[in-house]
Amino acid sequence: MSVLETDPEDMIRVIDEDGEVVGDVPDLSEEEFVAMYRYMKLARHFDERAVSLQRQGRMGTYPPLSGQEGAQIGSALALAENDWIVPSYREHGAALVRGVPLKQTLLYWMGHEDGNRMPEGVNVFPVAVPIASQIPHATGAAWARKLQGDDDVFLCYFGDGATSEGDFHEGLNFAGVFDTPTVFFCNNNQWAISVPRERQTASATLAQKADAYGFEGVRVDGMDPLAVYKATTAAVEKARDPDEDQLRPTMIEAVQYRFGAHTTADDPTVYRDEDEVEKWKAKDPIPRLENYLRAEEILNDERVAEIEASVKEEVAGAIDEAESVPRPEPREMFEHAYAELPPELERQYEEFAAVREEYGDDAFLED
Protein backbone atom coordinates (compact mmCIF):
# COMPACT_ATOMS: atom_id res chain seq x y z
CA MET A 1 0.00 0.00 0.00
CA SER A 2 1.27 3.48 -0.86
CA VAL A 3 1.75 5.85 2.08
CA LEU A 4 -0.59 8.14 0.20
CA GLU A 5 -3.42 5.77 0.99
CA THR A 6 -3.03 6.48 4.69
CA ASP A 7 -6.31 7.59 6.24
CA PRO A 8 -6.26 11.39 6.57
CA GLU A 9 -7.08 10.97 10.27
CA ASP A 10 -3.88 8.99 10.79
CA MET A 11 -0.37 10.39 10.77
CA ILE A 12 2.61 9.21 8.76
CA ARG A 13 5.62 8.84 11.08
CA VAL A 14 9.14 7.44 10.81
CA ILE A 15 11.03 8.54 13.93
CA ASP A 16 9.54 9.62 17.24
CA GLU A 17 10.47 12.52 19.49
CA ASP A 18 13.56 10.74 20.74
CA GLY A 19 14.69 9.68 17.30
CA GLU A 20 13.52 6.08 17.83
CA VAL A 21 12.37 4.38 14.64
CA VAL A 22 8.58 3.90 14.50
CA GLY A 23 8.09 3.46 10.73
CA ASP A 24 9.94 2.48 7.56
CA VAL A 25 13.05 4.60 7.22
CA PRO A 26 13.41 6.03 3.71
CA ASP A 27 16.30 4.78 1.66
CA LEU A 28 18.88 7.57 1.92
CA SER A 29 22.65 7.38 1.73
CA GLU A 30 24.82 8.49 4.62
CA GLU A 31 25.69 11.68 2.74
CA GLU A 32 22.04 12.38 2.10
CA PHE A 33 21.19 11.97 5.78
CA VAL A 34 24.01 14.31 6.75
CA ALA A 35 22.96 16.83 4.09
CA MET A 36 19.42 16.80 5.46
CA TYR A 37 20.72 17.40 8.97
CA ARG A 38 23.07 20.15 7.87
CA TYR A 39 20.35 21.98 5.94
CA MET A 40 18.17 21.93 9.02
CA LYS A 41 20.95 23.27 11.21
CA LEU A 42 21.70 25.92 8.61
CA ALA A 43 18.06 26.99 8.38
CA ARG A 44 17.80 27.19 12.18
CA HIS A 45 20.96 29.21 12.61
CA PHE A 46 20.03 31.49 9.73
CA ASP A 47 16.66 32.06 11.35
CA GLU A 48 18.15 32.98 14.71
CA ARG A 49 20.55 35.41 13.11
CA ALA A 50 17.80 36.96 10.97
CA VAL A 51 15.62 37.61 14.01
CA SER A 52 18.54 39.23 15.75
CA LEU A 53 19.34 41.39 12.71
CA GLN A 54 15.78 42.63 12.74
CA ARG A 55 16.05 43.46 16.44
CA GLN A 56 19.19 45.46 15.77
CA GLY A 57 17.46 47.44 13.04
CA ARG A 58 19.56 45.81 10.32
CA MET A 59 16.58 44.15 8.64
CA GLY A 60 12.82 44.80 8.24
CA THR A 61 9.95 42.63 9.41
CA TYR A 62 10.95 38.96 9.12
CA PRO A 63 8.90 35.74 9.42
CA PRO A 64 10.83 33.13 11.44
CA LEU A 65 10.73 29.43 10.60
CA SER A 66 12.20 27.77 13.69
CA GLY A 67 10.38 24.52 14.42
CA GLN A 68 9.40 24.10 10.78
CA GLU A 69 12.77 22.91 9.40
CA GLY A 70 11.74 19.26 9.31
CA ALA A 71 8.78 19.99 7.05
CA GLN A 72 10.64 22.40 4.78
CA ILE A 73 13.87 20.49 4.32
CA GLY A 74 12.28 17.03 4.30
CA SER A 75 9.88 18.04 1.53
CA ALA A 76 12.24 20.08 -0.63
CA LEU A 77 14.77 17.24 -0.65
CA ALA A 78 12.15 14.95 -2.17
CA LEU A 79 12.20 16.87 -5.45
CA ALA A 80 14.18 16.07 -8.56
CA GLU A 81 16.50 18.64 -10.09
CA ASN A 82 13.96 20.03 -12.56
CA ASP A 83 11.04 20.23 -10.18
CA TRP A 84 9.81 23.51 -8.79
CA ILE A 85 8.71 25.00 -5.53
CA VAL A 86 6.02 27.64 -5.22
CA PRO A 87 6.51 29.14 -1.76
CA SER A 88 4.63 31.53 0.48
CA TYR A 89 6.87 33.80 2.61
CA ARG A 90 8.26 31.50 5.30
CA GLU A 91 10.02 28.86 3.21
CA HIS A 92 13.58 30.13 3.51
CA GLY A 93 14.69 26.60 4.38
CA ALA A 94 13.05 24.96 1.39
CA ALA A 95 14.38 27.74 -0.86
CA LEU A 96 17.87 27.08 0.43
CA VAL A 97 17.63 23.41 -0.53
CA ARG A 98 16.48 24.41 -4.00
CA GLY A 99 19.50 26.66 -4.49
CA VAL A 100 18.38 30.11 -3.39
CA PRO A 101 21.48 31.71 -1.81
CA LEU A 102 21.07 32.90 1.80
CA LYS A 103 22.24 36.31 0.67
CA GLN A 104 19.14 36.57 -1.57
CA THR A 105 16.79 35.73 1.26
CA LEU A 106 18.48 38.29 3.49
CA LEU A 107 18.33 40.96 0.82
CA TYR A 108 14.65 40.35 0.27
CA TRP A 109 13.82 40.91 3.93
CA MET A 110 16.15 43.91 3.91
CA GLY A 111 13.76 45.45 1.43
CA HIS A 112 15.73 44.86 -1.78
CA GLU A 113 13.72 43.71 -4.79
CA ASP A 114 16.75 41.82 -6.07
CA GLY A 115 16.28 39.38 -3.24
CA ASN A 116 13.18 38.09 -5.01
CA ARG A 117 14.95 37.57 -8.32
CA MET A 118 15.82 33.91 -8.21
CA PRO A 119 19.05 33.01 -10.01
CA GLU A 120 18.63 31.41 -13.44
CA GLY A 121 18.25 27.67 -13.12
CA VAL A 122 16.84 27.91 -9.60
CA ASN A 123 13.31 26.61 -9.93
CA VAL A 124 11.67 28.68 -7.24
CA PHE A 125 8.76 31.07 -7.68
CA PRO A 126 8.99 34.51 -6.07
CA VAL A 127 7.75 34.98 -2.50
CA ALA A 128 3.96 35.33 -2.38
CA VAL A 129 2.68 37.41 0.53
CA PRO A 130 -1.11 37.42 -0.04
CA ILE A 131 -2.27 34.27 1.68
CA ALA A 132 -3.09 31.32 -0.60
CA SER A 133 -2.64 33.39 -3.76
CA GLN A 134 0.24 31.21 -4.95
CA ILE A 135 -1.85 28.03 -4.88
CA PRO A 136 -3.61 28.53 -8.23
CA HIS A 137 -0.22 29.52 -9.71
CA ALA A 138 1.20 26.16 -8.72
CA THR A 139 -1.72 24.47 -10.40
CA GLY A 140 -1.34 26.56 -13.57
CA ALA A 141 2.42 26.18 -13.75
CA ALA A 142 2.20 22.42 -13.33
CA TRP A 143 -0.57 22.29 -15.90
CA ALA A 144 1.62 24.27 -18.34
CA ARG A 145 4.47 21.81 -17.95
CA LYS A 146 2.11 18.94 -18.56
CA LEU A 147 0.75 20.63 -21.70
CA GLN A 148 4.31 21.34 -22.83
CA GLY A 149 5.13 17.65 -22.50
CA ASP A 150 7.58 17.99 -19.60
CA ASP A 151 7.40 15.94 -16.45
CA ASP A 152 8.30 18.57 -13.85
CA VAL A 153 6.45 18.47 -10.55
CA PHE A 154 5.40 21.54 -8.58
CA LEU A 155 5.51 21.59 -4.80
CA CYS A 156 3.35 24.37 -3.40
CA TYR A 157 3.68 25.56 0.21
CA PHE A 158 1.02 27.32 2.25
CA GLY A 159 -0.17 27.52 5.84
CA ASP A 160 -3.15 26.23 7.81
CA GLY A 161 -4.76 29.65 7.58
CA ALA A 162 -4.48 29.57 3.80
CA THR A 163 -6.93 26.68 3.60
CA SER A 164 -9.72 29.16 4.43
CA GLU A 165 -9.17 31.35 1.38
CA GLY A 166 -11.06 30.88 -1.87
CA ASP A 167 -7.78 30.59 -3.79
CA PHE A 168 -6.97 27.39 -1.91
CA HIS A 169 -10.20 25.76 -3.01
CA GLU A 170 -10.03 27.01 -6.58
CA GLY A 171 -6.41 25.96 -6.94
CA LEU A 172 -7.03 22.44 -5.65
CA ASN A 173 -10.22 22.07 -7.62
CA PHE A 174 -8.49 22.97 -10.88
CA ALA A 175 -5.69 20.57 -10.03
CA GLY A 176 -8.19 17.75 -9.62
CA VAL A 177 -10.18 18.61 -12.74
CA PHE A 178 -7.14 19.07 -14.97
CA ASP A 179 -5.06 16.43 -13.22
CA THR A 180 -1.99 18.62 -12.79
CA PRO A 181 1.33 17.39 -11.36
CA THR A 182 1.08 19.48 -8.20
CA VAL A 183 1.82 18.57 -4.60
CA PHE A 184 -0.01 20.86 -2.18
CA PHE A 185 2.04 21.03 0.98
CA CYS A 186 0.25 22.56 3.93
CA ASN A 187 2.50 23.72 6.74
CA ASN A 188 -0.04 23.36 9.51
CA ASN A 189 1.87 25.13 12.26
CA GLN A 190 -1.30 25.37 14.40
CA TRP A 191 -1.58 29.15 14.17
CA ALA A 192 -2.43 31.80 11.63
CA ILE A 193 -0.94 34.69 13.57
CA SER A 194 -3.23 34.58 16.64
CA VAL A 195 -5.98 32.43 15.17
CA PRO A 196 -5.79 28.75 16.14
CA ARG A 197 -6.24 25.95 13.64
CA GLU A 198 -9.71 25.08 15.07
CA ARG A 199 -10.93 28.55 14.12
CA GLN A 200 -10.06 27.97 10.45
CA THR A 201 -12.30 25.00 9.82
CA ALA A 202 -14.72 22.65 11.52
CA SER A 203 -13.15 19.75 9.57
CA ALA A 204 -11.33 17.20 11.70
CA THR A 205 -8.20 17.49 9.55
CA LEU A 206 -6.98 19.75 6.78
CA ALA A 207 -5.81 16.77 4.72
CA GLN A 208 -9.35 15.50 4.33
CA LYS A 209 -10.19 18.55 2.24
CA ALA A 210 -8.37 16.89 -0.66
CA ASP A 211 -11.09 14.27 -0.69
CA ALA A 212 -13.57 16.87 -1.89
CA TYR A 213 -11.40 17.53 -4.92
CA GLY A 214 -11.08 13.89 -5.78
CA PHE A 215 -7.45 13.25 -4.89
CA GLU A 216 -5.46 11.96 -1.96
CA GLY A 217 -4.79 13.92 1.20
CA VAL A 218 -2.51 12.66 3.97
CA ARG A 219 -1.26 13.88 7.32
CA VAL A 220 2.36 13.59 8.19
CA ASP A 221 4.27 14.38 11.35
CA GLY A 222 5.77 17.64 10.18
CA MET A 223 8.37 17.61 12.97
CA ASP A 224 9.74 14.35 11.55
CA PRO A 225 11.87 15.14 8.49
CA LEU A 226 12.06 11.47 7.48
CA ALA A 227 8.29 11.04 7.47
CA VAL A 228 7.95 14.28 5.49
CA TYR A 229 10.56 13.11 3.02
CA LYS A 230 8.82 9.78 2.61
CA ALA A 231 5.35 11.21 2.05
CA THR A 232 6.55 13.93 -0.29
CA THR A 233 8.64 11.50 -2.31
CA ALA A 234 5.58 9.30 -2.82
CA ALA A 235 3.46 12.31 -3.81
CA VAL A 236 6.09 13.61 -6.23
CA GLU A 237 6.46 10.17 -7.84
CA LYS A 238 2.72 9.88 -8.26
CA ALA A 239 2.49 13.40 -9.72
CA ARG A 240 5.18 12.56 -12.26
CA ASP A 241 4.13 9.08 -13.11
CA PRO A 242 0.70 8.10 -11.82
CA ASP A 243 -0.86 4.66 -12.10
CA GLU A 244 -3.77 4.46 -14.47
CA ASP A 245 -6.40 4.86 -11.81
CA GLN A 246 -4.60 7.66 -9.94
CA LEU A 247 -4.97 11.42 -10.11
CA ARG A 248 -1.64 13.25 -10.02
CA PRO A 249 -2.22 15.83 -7.26
CA THR A 250 -1.84 15.19 -3.54
CA MET A 251 -2.37 17.37 -0.51
CA ILE A 252 0.02 16.81 2.37
CA GLU A 253 -0.82 18.28 5.75
CA ALA A 254 2.42 18.51 7.71
CA VAL A 255 1.51 18.84 11.37
CA GLN A 256 4.08 21.06 13.06
CA TYR A 257 4.61 24.16 15.15
CA ARG A 258 6.10 27.61 14.80
CA PHE A 259 8.33 28.05 17.85
CA GLY A 260 8.73 31.80 17.47
CA ALA A 261 6.55 34.77 16.62
CA HIS A 262 4.49 34.94 13.42
CA THR A 263 6.81 37.72 12.33
CA THR A 264 9.16 39.95 14.25
CA ALA A 265 6.21 42.38 14.52
CA ASP A 266 4.14 39.84 16.47
CA ASP A 267 3.99 39.07 20.20
CA PRO A 268 2.75 35.49 20.60
CA THR A 269 2.52 35.70 24.40
CA VAL A 270 -0.73 37.64 23.89
CA TYR A 271 -2.53 34.65 22.41
CA ARG A 272 -0.79 31.37 23.29
CA ASP A 273 0.50 29.68 26.41
CA GLU A 274 4.12 29.01 27.09
CA ASP A 275 3.11 25.42 28.06
CA GLU A 276 1.96 24.74 24.55
CA VAL A 277 5.20 26.06 23.12
CA GLU A 278 7.22 23.88 25.50
CA LYS A 279 5.19 20.82 24.58
CA TRP A 280 6.01 21.29 20.92
CA LYS A 281 9.64 22.18 21.56
CA ALA A 282 10.03 18.67 22.90
CA LYS A 283 9.30 17.51 19.34
CA ASP A 284 12.01 19.71 17.81
CA PRO A 285 12.92 18.14 14.45
CA ILE A 286 16.65 18.83 14.74
CA PRO A 287 17.71 16.97 17.94
CA ARG A 288 15.35 14.24 16.91
CA LEU A 289 17.08 13.61 13.58
CA GLU A 290 20.41 14.05 15.32
CA ASN A 291 19.56 11.36 17.87
CA TYR A 292 18.60 8.97 15.12
CA LEU A 293 21.77 9.67 13.13
CA ARG A 294 23.94 9.29 16.23
CA ALA A 295 22.29 5.97 16.99
CA GLU A 296 23.03 4.92 13.42
CA GLU A 297 26.62 6.13 13.92
CA ILE A 298 26.27 8.52 11.02
CA LEU A 299 26.89 11.47 13.33
CA ASN A 300 29.13 11.88 16.37
CA ASP A 301 30.28 14.80 18.53
CA GLU A 302 33.03 15.66 16.17
CA ARG A 303 30.91 15.77 13.02
CA VAL A 304 28.19 17.73 14.78
CA ALA A 305 30.75 20.29 15.95
CA GLU A 306 32.14 20.53 12.43
CA ILE A 307 28.71 21.10 10.98
CA GLU A 308 27.87 23.71 13.59
CA ALA A 309 31.05 25.62 12.86
CA SER A 310 30.58 25.50 9.09
CA VAL A 311 26.95 26.59 9.36
CA LYS A 312 27.95 29.62 11.44
CA GLU A 313 30.58 30.57 8.98
CA GLU A 314 28.23 30.25 6.03
CA VAL A 315 25.55 32.44 7.62
CA ALA A 316 28.06 35.07 8.76
CA GLY A 317 29.45 35.23 5.23
CA ALA A 318 25.98 35.66 3.73
CA ILE A 319 25.17 38.47 6.17
CA ASP A 320 28.39 40.29 5.31
CA GLU A 321 27.64 39.96 1.63
CA ALA A 322 24.05 41.12 1.95
CA GLU A 323 24.96 44.08 4.12
CA SER A 324 27.63 45.21 1.71
CA VAL A 325 25.03 45.64 -1.05
CA PRO A 326 24.30 49.37 -1.32
CA ARG A 327 20.79 50.78 -1.32
CA PRO A 328 19.43 50.39 -4.84
CA GLU A 329 19.10 53.46 -7.03
CA PRO A 330 15.56 54.85 -7.28
CA ARG A 331 15.71 54.39 -11.04
CA GLU A 332 15.25 50.66 -10.35
CA MET A 333 11.66 51.27 -9.24
CA PHE A 334 10.86 52.22 -12.80
CA GLU A 335 12.82 49.64 -14.68
CA HIS A 336 10.82 46.51 -14.08
CA ALA A 337 7.26 47.80 -14.43
CA TYR A 338 7.14 47.15 -18.18
CA ALA A 339 9.41 45.74 -20.88
CA GLU A 340 9.76 49.28 -22.16
CA LEU A 341 9.52 52.34 -19.98
CA PRO A 342 6.46 54.34 -21.07
CA PRO A 343 7.20 58.04 -21.75
CA GLU A 344 5.08 59.20 -18.79
CA LEU A 345 7.15 57.06 -16.44
CA GLU A 346 10.35 58.45 -17.90
CA ARG A 347 8.95 61.92 -17.27
CA GLN A 348 8.01 61.07 -13.67
CA TYR A 349 11.49 59.75 -13.06
CA GLU A 350 13.17 62.80 -14.52
CA GLU A 351 11.10 65.16 -12.45
CA PHE A 352 11.96 63.15 -9.35
CA ALA A 353 15.66 63.06 -10.24
CA ALA A 354 15.72 66.84 -10.61
CA VAL A 355 14.25 67.33 -7.13
CA ARG A 356 16.69 64.80 -5.69
CA GLU A 357 19.54 66.64 -7.34
CA GLU A 358 18.41 69.97 -5.91
CA TYR A 359 17.53 68.87 -2.37
CA GLY A 360 19.94 65.99 -1.89
CA ASP A 361 19.33 62.47 -0.63
CA ASP A 362 18.91 63.57 2.98
CA ALA A 363 15.62 65.22 2.05
CA PHE A 364 14.28 61.77 1.16
CA LEU A 365 15.89 59.23 3.41
CA GLU A 366 15.03 58.88 7.05
CA ASP A 367 18.03 56.83 8.08
Partner 1 sequence: MTETQNLTLVQAVRDGLFTEMSADEDVVVLGEDVGKNGGVFRATEGLYDEFGGDRVIDTPLAESGIIGAAVGMAAMGMRPVPECQFSGFMYPGFDQIVSHMSRFRTRSRSRFTLPMTLRAPYGGGIRAPEHHSESKEAFYAHEAGLKVAIPSTPYDAKGMLISAIRDPDPVVFLEPKLIYRAFRGEVPEEDYEVPLGEAITRREGDDIAVFTWGAMTRPTMEAAESLAEEGIECEVVDLRTVSPLDREAIVEAFEKTGRAAVVHEAPKSGGLGAEITATIQEEALLYQEAPVKRITGFDVPFPLYALEDYYLPSAARVEAGVKEAVNFP
Ligand X SMILES: Cc1ncc(C[n+]2csc(CCOP(=O)(O)OP(=O)(O)O)c2C)c(N)n1
The answer to the question of residue 265 lying near ligand X (CB under 6 A) is no
| Cβ closest to ligand X, residue 186 vs residue 234 | 186
Give the active site residue among 55, 271, 347, 359.
271
Q: Where are the alpha helices (DSSP H) in the chain?
A: 30-55, 69-76, 92-97, 102-109, 134-147, 166-178, 197-200, 209-212, 225-240, 274-281, 285-295, 301-323, 331-335, 343-359
Candidates 40-48, 112-120, 251-259, 301-309: pick the segment binding partner 1 (CB under 8 A): 112-120
Asked if 258 is an active-site residue, the reply is yes
* Neighbour tally for 194: CB within 10 Å: 13
CB of 189 to partner 1, least distance (A): 13
Closest CA to 156 of 128, 176, 115: 128
Q: Residue 253 CB, nearest distance to partner 1 (Å)?
A: 16
CA angle 218, 145, 179 (to 5 degrees): 40
Which of partner 1, Mg ion, ligand X, none does 108 bind, CB closer than 5 to 8 A by kind? partner 1
The residue (of 68 and 319) whose beta carbon lies closer to ligand X is: 68
Taking residues 66 to 95 in sequence order and writing x for each that binds ligand X by CB under 6 A, - otherwise, the string is ------------------------x-----
262 in catalytic set: yes
Contacting residue, 147, 193, 212, 353, with ligand X by CB under 6 A: 193
Alpha carbon dihedral 69, 74, 186, 46, in 10-degree steps, equals 20
Nearer to ligand X (CB atom), residue 224 or residue 253:
253
- Least distance in angstroms from the C-beta of 110 to Mg ion: 24
Residues 117-176 that bind partner 1 (CB under 8 A): 127, 129-132, 161-162, 164-167
- List the beta bridge partners of residue 251: 184, 217
Exactly one of 49, 90, 112, 283 binds partner 1 (CB under 8 A); that residue is 112
Q: Which of residues 263-302 bind partner 1 (CB under 8 A)?
A: 265-266, 270-271
Tell which residue, 159, 102, 68, 56, has the closest CA to residue 311.
102
CB of 331 to partner 1, least distance (A): 10
Give which of ligand X, partner 1, Mg ion, none residue 199 binds (C-beta under 5 to 8 Å, depending on kind): partner 1
Sequence-distant (≥ 6) Cβ neighbours of residue 285 within 8 angstroms? 40, 67, 69, 70, 71, 223, 224, 225, 256
Q: Which of 80, 212, 309, 337 binds partner 1 (CB under 8 A)?
A: 337
Using CB under 8 A, pick the residue from 2, 246, 291, 348 that binds partner 1. 348
Residues that bind Mg ion (CB under 5 A): 159-160, 189, 192
CB of 73 within 8 A of CB of 225?
yes
45 is known as an active-site residue: no
User: Cα separation of 339 and 118, whole Å?
Assistant: 18
Cβ pair 125, 134 in contact under 8 A: yes
Of 183-191, 212-220, 228-236, 271-279, the window that binds ligand X (rule: CB under 6 A) is: 183-191
**Closer to ligand X by Cβ: residue 71 or 110:** 71
Tell me which DSSP letter residue 23 carries. S
d(CA 215, CA 316): 44
Query: What is the DSSP secondary structure assignment for residue 126, as one 8-state letter?
Result: P
Length of the chain: 367
Q: Helix/strand/coil (H, E, C) string of 225-292?
A: HHHHHHHHHHHHHHHHCCCCCCCCCEEEEEECCCCCCCCCCCCHHHCCCHHHHHHHHCCCHHHHHHHH
Q: Which sequence positions are flagged as catalytic?
A: 258, 262, 271
Residues in contact with partner 1 by CB under 8 A are 60-61, 89, 108-113, 115-116, 127, 129-132, 161-162, 164-167, 192-195, 199-201, 265-266, 270-271, 327-328, 330, 332-334, 337, 342, 344-345, 348-349, 352, 354-356, 358-359, 363-366
Residues in contact with ligand X by CB under 6 A are 90, 129-131, 159-162, 187, 189, 191-193, 262
